[in-house]
Amino acid sequence: MPEPAGIDKYPISTVIIANLLPLFIYLIGLFLLYQLGLIPAVIFALFILALEFRVISGHCIDCNYYGKTCAFGKGKISALFFSRGSPDRFCQGAMSWKDMLPDFLVLLIPVLAGMYILISGFTWLILGLLIAIVLLGFCGNGFVRGHLACRFCRQRELGCPAEQLFSKKE
Residue 19 has pLDDT above 80, yes or no: yes
For position 3, what pLDDT does the model report?
61
**How many Å apart are CA 150 and CA 148, to the nearest integer?**
7
For position 170, what pLDDT does the model report?
43
For position 51, what pLDDT does the model report?
96
Domain coordinates in residue numbering, the chain: 12-162
**How many Å apart are CA 113 and CA 129, to the nearest integer?**
11
Contact partners, residue 101, CB within 8 Å, separation at least 6: none
Contact 64, 146 (CB under 8 A): no
Q: C-alpha distances in angstroms, 68 versus 14, 38, 46, 58, 93?
A: 14, 37, 27, 16, 21
For position 95, what pLDDT does the model report?
76
Contact partners, residue 75, CB within 8 Å, separation at least 6: 60, 63, 65, 66, 67, 68, 69
Q: What is the mean pLDDT of the chain?
A: 91
Residue 44 has pLDDT above 60, yes or no: yes
Mean pLDDT score, 89-103:
81
pLDDT in tens, 101-142: 999 999 999 999 999 999 999 999 999 999 999 999 999 999
